[in-house]
Chain A
Amino acid sequence: MKTTYKNVFRDGPISSSFIAQSIAKHQSKTRIGAHNIFLGQVRADMIDGNEVVAIDYSAYEEMANKKFHEIRETTFKKFNLTCMHIYHSLGMVKSGEICLFVFVSSPRRKEVFKALEYVVETMKAEAPVFGKEIFEDQSHQWKINS
């Protein structure tokens, strides 16, 4: 039987209103004392005089959603978290727009600092997401995480 995992992908950029609504939804969870949020933003890198104007994201979605699920499970085991949300863009995200939104919450602050770094670093290393950097002259190159 094929297992389906929660889909972390969203078409296009992640809007500030989506992020704000996500924060507002936590007001009823009154055991939480600390949130920590990571927002990945598309950077207008200048490469050989050509500026990156957007990144076109694609992914091996089935495997990536499985990896994100495993990262969630491991993170909940390692840290005392109340909840965690991860969203990643697919398709075109212009420079200055948000492509990654990671949101962790806990009763106490120290856990969320450690947990957020763990989630972001593990996700960058293990999730099969690919980024085509589009330049202003419409040429492109493939991004590689450093």
Chain B
Amino acid sequence: MLVEIKYFGMLAEITGCSSEQLNVSIKKIGEIKELVLDKYPDLRNKDFRMAQNHELVSDATMITGQEIAILPPFAGG
């Protein structure tokens, strides 16, 4: 399954890209997180949350094959 991963703010500085497509055979958001952390070990000591299709999700959420975003702490206003 092809999923698009988006990175924002300080996390995009670490990954060096704002989005990438990953071909995965996994089922849960937590597994995407592990895959991304293996690819970018510097993310391990960063605080972030994950969203799928524009909603925050937990590690146990099933991947639906669309857009997944990795979001640093919010700083609006």
B76 partner, pick from A62, A66, A123, A142, beta carbons under 8 A: A123
Instruction: Give the most central of B9, B10, B73, B77: most A CB within 10 Å.
Output: B77
Q: When the two chains form their complex, are residues A66 and B54 in contact, meaning their CB atoms are under 8 A apart?
A: yes
Contacts A66-B54, A128-B51 given; does A58 touch B77 at CB 8 Å: no
In angstroms, how far is the closest chain B Cβ from the Cβ of A9? 10
Q: Is B60 an interface residue when CB atoms closer than 8 A count as contact?
A: no
- Complex: A124 Cα to B55 Cα, angstroms: 16
Tell me the chain B residues, 31-77 only, with Cβ under 8 Å from chain A: 51, 54-55, 69, 71-77
- Complex: A66 Cα to B56 Cα, angstroms: 12
In angstroms, how far is the closest chain B Cβ from the Cβ of A129? 3
In angstroms, how far is the closest chain A Cβ from the Cβ of B67? 8
In angstroms, how far is the closest chain B Cβ from the Cβ of A101? 10
Q: When the two chains form their complex, are residues A132 and B9 in contact, meaning their CB atoms are under 8 A apart?
A: yes
In angstroms, how far is the closest chain A Cβ from the Cβ of B65? 15
Residues of B within 8 A of A (CB): 6, 8-10, 51, 54-55, 69, 71-77
9 smallest CB-CB distances across A and B, nearest first, come from: A129-B76, A130-B9, A131-B75, A143-B75, A63-B54, A142-B10, A144-B73, A40-B77, A100-B77
